[in-house]
Structure 1
Amino acid sequence: MADNTTSMYRGSTSDRPHIQRRNGLSYRIMALTACCVAISTFAIGTISFLKIRTESDRLAQVNLQTEAQILSQRFYLDYYIIANDLVTISQTPPIQGLIRSIQNGDIDPTDGSTTDQWRSRLATIFRAVLRGRSDYFQFRYISAADDGRELVRVEIGADGYETTPKEELQRKSDEPYYQQAMLAPKGQVTFSKVTYNRERGSEDGNQTPTLRGMYPIDASDGSRFGFLIINVNYEKMLQNAFQEIAPKRHIFVINDLGDFMEHGIGSHQKTYRLELHDKLTRPIPPILNNVMVSGKDGFFANSETVGYYVRQDSVFDQASANLGVFVAVPREEYFATANQNLVQFILLGLLLIGLSTVIATVFARRMMLPLSALTNRVRFSGPDDRLDDLPTLRSDEIGELAEAIQSRNLKLIEGRQRSAAIVNNVVDGLILINDAGKIIEFNPSCERIFGYNAEEIIGSNVSKLMKPEIARSHDNYLQRFREGNGGKVIDKLRELEAVDRWGRVFPIELAINVVQVDGKTKYSGIIRDISERKEVERLRGEFVSTVSHELRTPLTSIRGSLSLIDTMAPKDLAPKVRQLITMAQKNTERLIVLVNDILDFEKLQTEKTHYGFKNLNFNKEVQNAIELNQGYASDAEIELKSELVSKDLIVELDADKLQQILSNLISNAVKFTKVQGKVIVRTSHSGQRVRLEVEDEGNGIPESFKAYIFEPFSQAESGVARRQSGTGLGLNITKRIVEGMHGEIGFNTVIGTGTVFWVEFPLKNMIISQTSDNGTLSTARAKVRALHLEDDTDFHIVLGTGMDGDLELVHARTILEARQLLERYTFDLIIIDRMLKDGEGLDLIKYVPNPDKTKIVVVTARDENIHHIYVDDILVKSRNRPGDFVNRFAVIVDEIKERKRCA
């Protein structure tokens, strides 16, 4: 089958140009494209449809706009009728007759008519007007005198049109519309807001939505006498207009106050109850709300409705008299014509697509046969099959593709073989797990380390290789990492204990990395069994400790014996003998220094070094160190100079450890300085830190050695350095002691000129500002006492300075220091930084005596959620300025003080 397929692809060299022209893949694609040209008809149809839809949309908008304008004019007609009635009535004789009779003792001097006669005549006119308008329900003449007393009032009652007796006429000066009418310009009709009708200062209970048309009446002298007012049932007025128009569309009538009425069609009721803007009984339709918010004429649409809004220009200034009409239609109806055209175009397009598909299929099947054969050959090949029988001799694109596949396959096979050789033969164990913790790869070195075969361990949870206490939290760790809250051990080398198939617990070194395989997160681990190394380290420690301690006693005896011999020897002792004694003393001292360095190094390695802190005058201690090392410098022909600041610098340090630091730095500087050179020891202070600098005139530190300068057993290869031998531990010990006393150490060097080693310590009042002279905490408990676990001294200084006077802030740089302080003292507040050199800061909580009664605040640089039962507050350094921290802790301190006061 393979041979037949291969022969089908191959041809003679002379035939290839012909095949290239007639049977090339690009030629066949062009033929297929030509067959699909018919689809362009669909594109043309689409363009036509869009044009037709645009025109239909324009015509529909014009129709809606025209209808809205016509309706708007009809609704405005009611306002003109009200205004016309008011103006007409204001010109009738009873209006001025009442004014004359009231002003002349109830008798009109012009014709002798009484006030009551004029009232009766005006009431008759009012009744005639009310009969002509079904939406009018009250007509009144109100005077300005007597708190706006009604002069004439006619209304529709239970028995028809009723004139209110004189003794029942009301005062209306407290009504809002009264002031509006009294302030209206002469000869101008005004309209009130639409409210429920009010009688005697409160709503009448009928909840009649009332629009009041008002016309001011002035006396002959031009003073404001009163006004005419017609009460119109606003809802009925709009309903009457709807009944007269009988619209066949969905219509909203809206005034500028937001009062609206809706007229439905179809299955909806014909009209709805009027909705007042301040007393809505149902939600405003979304599209109407858009219209109200806009307030402008124009086209509006949403997912369900399309419409046009028109607001008729009004001669009236009041919002209640400015009506707008919104004509709405369902979106389906609005686009009905366009949608019908769309269906026709779709059917035509589908027909063309079907026809083109049939034609394309015929050509594609013939064109893809050789490509399908190539695909099947590759698909059914094994992972190590070299695919030598692919049609690489074809002259078209298939031949080029086959050649590319064959070349890439060979590279993949070679890459797999190299990778397999590396993975299977690497000394370290390689393991791969998925995001659920299941093992999916397990190399031979892992089999050797753990004792499991790959076949039996793959598919198991990786916690099977862990101690129970670690395994219990492993799945939770993976969950936190998936949520973005974990991962601090990723890309880091760490030591922990593992368990093999026989239950043996042994130490390993583990490096974890995150890898993406097929778009999924996996975790790769590189594992090294360090049992032998740990054993060697243990034996080395025991050997160094044993040898060092066994050497110290005889060396001390030898030094004492040599001193006695030197003292008791006669003055005329032979020079050679005296020289031998001196040589023995010097070498004994060198051995003692060596043993002490080794012991100090071991103590620092195992963190067994203890510090006796007390207040020291830094300048005085530096001066003592210079004096102690002056003899050594003189013997080396080196000038030892000091440049100390004049003021006292008080620090809290271990005096012996400080002298050891100074001695190491000064002796190193002397050792590396050229003969006849000088070493300068200077002190300074900046802000709240004191600084010591020891400057030599040596050759400087080579660039290649700078990274190792503080490593144990390291020495630079230098002729000057080799004049004096050493252990290579001095600077390592110095650095550890400096950091153990909350300080920092570093250096600046210039090749050929020299090196300056510097050490900085915080001043006394900044490290633990509340300690007494003997290094213990103050006993007065007026302040709130807090333990601050933080390895950033500068941050502690800022917080301590800001809270001075309120907070007794005790600083611990490591978890070990914090635990020691918790054993000695009681604290009201614990402030914890998470990422410390000796572990996770949250681990300190289990050592707090009463965590439920102690305020615990986590201050961290990592922006992540912390779920811990005893953590009361979390502050992220990157999201808070220093001043914000001080303010937050001020609130916390006040809470603690209040709690203690109430206890």
Structure 2
Amino acid sequence: MSEGKSERQGRFGTKLNGAWHQNSLKKRIMVLTAFCVAFSTLAVGALSYTRIKSEALELAEVKLASEAHLLSERFSLDYHLIASDLETVAKTPPIQGLIRSLRNGGIDPDDGSTDTLWRSRLATIFQAVLSGRPDYFQFRYIGIDDAGRELVRIDRTRNGFSSVTGEALQQKRLEPYFKLAAEAPAGKVLFSKVTYNREHGQADGTGTPTLRGLYPIDDIDGNRFGFLAINVNYEKMLQSTFQDINPNRRTYVVNGGGDFMEHSGTVKQAFYRLEIRDAFTRAVPPIVQQVLQSETPEGLFFSEDRVAYFVREAGNFSQESASLGVIVEVPSAEFHATATKTRNEFLAAGFLVVLISTIVAVVAARSFMQPLADLSNAVRSSGSDELLSALPVERADEVGELAAAIRNRNIELVESRARFSAIVNNVVDGLILIDAYGRIEQFNPSCEKMFGYAQDEIIGQNVTLLMQGKDAENHGSYLERYRKGEGGHILGATRELEAIDKSGRVFPIELAISAVAADGETKFSGVIRDISQRKEVERMRKEFVSTVSHELRTPLTSIRGSLTLIDTMAPKDLPPKIGKLIGMARKNTERLILLVNDILDFEKLRAHKTQFALERVDLNEEMRKAADLNQGYADDAHISLVLDLNPQAVLVEVDPEKVQQVLANLISNAVKYSRPSGRVTLRTGLSGDQARIEVEDRGEGIPDNFRKLIFEPFSQADGSVTRKKGGTGLGLNISKELVEGMKGRIGFDSLEGYGTTFWVEFPRLAAEGPEQISLAPLFRPGRLKGLHLEDDRDFHVILQSGMDSNLDLMHARTIAEARDLLKKYQFDIVILDRLIADGDGLDLINSIPDPEATKIIVITAVDENVNHIHVDETLIKSKTPPGVFVERFSKVVEEVLARKGLDRKLA
């Protein structure tokens, strides 16, 4: 075995060494460190890069937006200059002077100026404005009358300025801008759509893109007279603005009508060209298309490889041509240049940090892990049963703590192995270990003593050597099924079987088998106990029970019957001494019968042979019956039995006889341990879906140290008290088994010095009405039903025993109880005692449903003859011996049987 042990240790050490080199903790620490550094660097770098990139893009956007806003303001200035010129000229005197002179026969009534003079003065003003604005090429004053005839007109020509007069003045009613100006609000500057210049209703052939600034003119009364119109060379105006600013980026200017002009800082000025929406000469750039399709007044726009910022400046003008927007465009690479540079710098820095951290991790791991490697070598080099030495426990770090923990655990394991060996070698039960093929590997001294084999001669043998018969034959196939994964149902269970020792002796054993895993293999451990003595005790117990049943119970039953008849039939003048002896004999016979019955019941319950005949019963009736049956015992002990019954039926499904047996045990215990002249309360109740009965006494209570044992067999709280009171110590154990067999539960509540309440609960049944309550527990088929109103329990028992074979006689101790019974049942015979605690027994006759059909007999202690129309017979206790009572009532029963036509005879 030592060689196998060394071999296993060698394999184990090789595995550890290979694992160390293949996936060592040092490598893991290095990888983990590098990963943590890389992850941290990437996480921080990504977060920083994202933040810086966002800020860089925001700065780039702000820069583009600033340029776009600056250009937009400059372009919008041209529109404001046009508006300013129109408003200024509109306020000059010739505007209104011309109106006055034309409406007064050509003479201004204010100063006598003629319309020709006013036209001349206004032409001079127009020429002055044109001379200061190179982009303007025409200034006109157009009237509403005469189909929109031009009143004053100055044109810019190659040679200077030309004033148009007379018939050369044109009518402009059909031009789109005429209607715009004629309907515009007073004092509002308007701009027409950009078109090529038109003369006499058609394009003049010069191809001049023209923007017209318009200003409505009203007379002094507010009536529309005409409007001022400045024709601006739109292309020249935009070109001059671009020339003034000369932006170094590609820039587009776009108006609301879709006209645009492009400027690039890398081309010559001649590249400028205006594109009019209705006459595009080239493809519209993608950025311009996006702007034209968007309604946003300002923002970034992206194309495939370029980024642009657009801003629109409409000023106070609502016309599309005056809604001028500026687009400043840059390449995407330039826009993202700062962010890209930042990313590259972060990647380079992160790579350097990861590289340096990995180098540091490798060096640190080598330094930190070397002590662990030394510790591992020290552990691997020691045997499993040896105390570890040469461990670096003196180190003041975690390695030292680990070494100390390993040393302490090694000491514990060695000591534990020693203790285990001591336990295995000295345990009373036999311990055996076999492999998956049934070969014995361990065999403790108890097994040696039990089977007669020494360890040396049994180790390595098949375990079937210790088995008998079919157990030995089937063992090999069972192990084979288990190896295939098909067996194992007996594992963990305790079985009884026969074994055979070295001498060939067959003896019974108790065996518990468990599967264990050792060295990667499945093995089976068995705990063996020799149960020869226990089997012998069981055999003796069974013989004793059989003897008690056949040799004791039958004679005792006969003796009890004889004593009961003697007591019943004895003459009245029997000497007191003989009567006392007969009573003592009866009581002692009852005690012996109780002992025998308890022993037999206990044995039957222990063997699970008790059968229950479940019926639907009212626990109120069962409690009354129990009180009647146990009243004599209570009277002898001077204890009162008090009923506290639930006002409604307490219905359960139980075995009535077993319930009476349980109640008899509980009532006898309560009476036995009550104080002298005390009382025992019998109570029924309902609690949710549970029906409950309680037996309450006012005795000394149950000691705390005995409460856990109270339902154990042969348990008694105080031996001295028990000897005085009597009892077997089996009653409560039998009661518990009976209650649980009927699906109920039993318990108790006790306060030492104040008394005890034993309670029993059964599942409650739903009430079905008083008429549907089963009579089986009270009356048997084919027998007469009788009611006996009597507060003397003994007298009722004597009378009932004489009528047992023909009459079921129910006992009521009070008139109230008797009335309740009369409401439920129809009785054939009613026996009344006159002197009852709660009144005169004769009062009960009024509660009998059919007194004519009921045999009514009155028994009285007073020497009188009762005269009542429904009373059939009167018997006086003092003049009638007990034997005569039985004989007389037997005749009464025969009379009623004959009257009812029942062929019955006295037993």
Q: So what's the TM-score if we normalise by structure 1?
A: 0.44
> Bigger radius of gyration, 1 or 2?
2
